[in-house]
Amino acid sequence: MKSVILSMAVVSMFIANQAQAADAKAAEALAQKSGCLACHAVEKKVLGPSYKDVAAKYKGDKGAEAKLAAKIKAGGSGVWGPVPMPPHPQVKNEDIKTIVSWVLSL
Protein backbone atom coordinates (compact mmCIF):
# COMPACT_ATOMS: atom_id res chain seq x y z
CA MET A 1 0.00 0.00 0.00
CA LYS A 2 2.84 2.37 0.89
CA SER A 3 4.49 1.80 -2.50
CA VAL A 4 1.19 2.48 -4.30
CA ILE A 5 0.82 5.80 -2.48
CA LEU A 6 4.45 6.67 -3.24
CA SER A 7 3.94 5.75 -6.91
CA MET A 8 0.83 7.92 -7.09
CA ALA A 9 2.77 10.83 -5.56
CA VAL A 10 5.56 10.41 -8.14
CA VAL A 11 3.03 10.31 -10.99
CA SER A 12 1.28 13.41 -9.61
CA MET A 13 4.59 15.30 -9.40
CA PHE A 14 5.47 14.23 -12.94
CA ILE A 15 2.12 15.45 -14.26
CA ALA A 16 2.48 18.74 -12.37
CA ASN A 17 5.99 19.24 -13.79
CA GLN A 18 4.73 18.52 -17.29
CA ALA A 19 1.93 21.06 -16.85
CA GLN A 20 4.39 23.68 -15.58
CA ALA A 21 6.69 23.03 -18.55
CA ALA A 22 3.75 23.40 -20.95
CA ASP A 23 2.68 26.63 -19.22
CA ALA A 24 6.24 27.97 -19.45
CA LYS A 25 6.45 27.13 -23.16
CA ALA A 26 3.09 28.82 -23.77
CA ALA A 27 4.18 31.93 -21.84
CA GLU A 28 7.46 32.08 -23.74
CA ALA A 29 5.57 31.77 -27.04
CA LEU A 30 3.28 34.58 -25.89
CA ALA A 31 6.33 36.74 -25.11
CA GLN A 32 7.69 35.98 -28.59
CA LYS A 33 4.35 36.85 -30.23
CA SER A 34 4.12 40.07 -28.22
CA GLY A 35 7.57 41.22 -29.37
CA CYS A 36 9.25 40.91 -25.97
CA LEU A 37 12.02 38.63 -27.22
CA ALA A 38 13.18 41.26 -29.70
CA CYS A 39 14.82 43.09 -26.78
CA HIS A 40 15.02 40.43 -24.04
CA ALA A 41 16.25 36.85 -23.72
CA VAL A 42 15.88 34.35 -20.91
CA GLU A 43 19.58 33.88 -20.16
CA LYS A 44 21.42 36.95 -21.48
CA LYS A 45 21.12 40.69 -21.84
CA VAL A 46 20.09 41.83 -25.30
CA LEU A 47 18.87 45.46 -25.40
CA GLY A 48 17.04 44.93 -22.14
CA PRO A 49 18.00 42.74 -19.21
CA SER A 50 17.72 38.96 -19.30
CA TYR A 51 14.54 37.60 -17.83
CA LYS A 52 16.57 35.67 -15.24
CA ASP A 53 18.13 38.97 -14.11
CA VAL A 54 14.65 40.52 -13.84
CA ALA A 55 13.44 37.55 -11.77
CA ALA A 56 16.48 37.85 -9.47
CA LYS A 57 16.04 41.60 -9.01
CA TYR A 58 12.38 41.28 -8.03
CA LYS A 59 12.65 38.06 -6.01
CA GLY A 60 10.69 38.50 -2.80
CA ASP A 61 9.10 41.77 -3.94
CA LYS A 62 5.37 41.30 -3.33
CA GLY A 63 4.53 44.21 -5.66
CA ALA A 64 6.71 43.00 -8.53
CA GLU A 65 3.88 41.69 -10.71
CA ALA A 66 2.02 44.99 -10.64
CA LYS A 67 5.22 47.04 -11.16
CA LEU A 68 6.35 44.98 -14.12
CA ALA A 69 2.89 44.87 -15.69
CA ALA A 70 2.69 48.66 -15.50
CA LYS A 71 6.20 48.97 -16.94
CA ILE A 72 5.29 46.76 -19.89
CA LYS A 73 2.08 48.70 -20.59
CA ALA A 74 3.51 52.22 -20.16
CA GLY A 75 7.20 51.72 -20.88
CA GLY A 76 9.95 53.24 -18.81
CA SER A 77 13.64 53.91 -18.38
CA GLY A 78 16.43 54.22 -15.88
CA VAL A 79 16.02 50.96 -13.97
CA TRP A 80 18.36 48.87 -16.16
CA GLY A 81 20.40 51.59 -17.82
CA PRO A 82 19.90 54.33 -20.38
CA VAL A 83 17.99 52.35 -23.03
CA PRO A 84 14.26 53.03 -22.54
CA MET A 85 11.67 50.30 -22.84
CA PRO A 86 8.91 51.44 -25.19
CA PRO A 87 5.29 51.16 -24.10
CA HIS A 88 3.28 48.15 -25.23
CA PRO A 89 -0.36 49.28 -24.89
CA GLN A 90 -1.48 46.77 -27.55
CA VAL A 91 -0.62 43.75 -25.37
CA LYS A 92 -3.68 42.47 -23.53
CA ASN A 93 -3.59 42.73 -19.73
CA GLU A 94 -4.10 38.98 -19.29
CA ASP A 95 -1.19 38.31 -21.67
CA ILE A 96 1.00 40.72 -19.69
CA LYS A 97 0.07 38.93 -16.48
CA THR A 98 1.01 35.57 -18.01
CA ILE A 99 4.34 36.88 -19.27
CA VAL A 100 5.20 38.59 -15.96
CA SER A 101 4.34 35.47 -13.97
CA TRP A 102 6.55 33.40 -16.23
CA VAL A 103 9.47 35.84 -16.01
CA LEU A 104 9.24 35.97 -12.22
CA SER A 105 9.21 32.16 -12.09
CA LEU A 106 12.63 31.91 -13.71
Higher pLDDT, 1 or 67: 67
pLDDT above 90: residue 1:
no
Quick one: which of 22, 25, 46 has its CA closest to 36?
46
β-bridge partners, 45: 40
Q: How confident is the model at residue 23 (pLDDT cuts 50, 70, 90)?
A: confident
Residue 70's pLDDT is 97
Residue 14's pLDDT is 45
- State the chain's mean pLDDT as an integer: 87
Residue 51 gets the label, from left (phi > 0), alpha (psi -120 to 50) or beta, of: alpha
The C-alpha atoms of residue 48 and residue 38 are separated, in whole angstroms, by 9
**pLDDT per residue over 36-85, tens digit each?**
999 999 999 999 999 999 999 999 999 999 999 999 999 999 999 999 99
DSSP for residue 37: G
Mean pLDDT of 3-10: 54
The C-alpha atoms of residue 97 and residue 27 are separated, in whole angstroms, by 10
> Does 88 show up as a binding residue in the annotation?
no
> Does 39 show up as a binding residue in the annotation?
no
Mean pLDDT of 9-22: 52
Q: State the distance between the two ends of the chain, measured CA to CA, in whole angstroms.
A: 37
Domains of the chain, first to last: 2-105 (1.10.760.10)
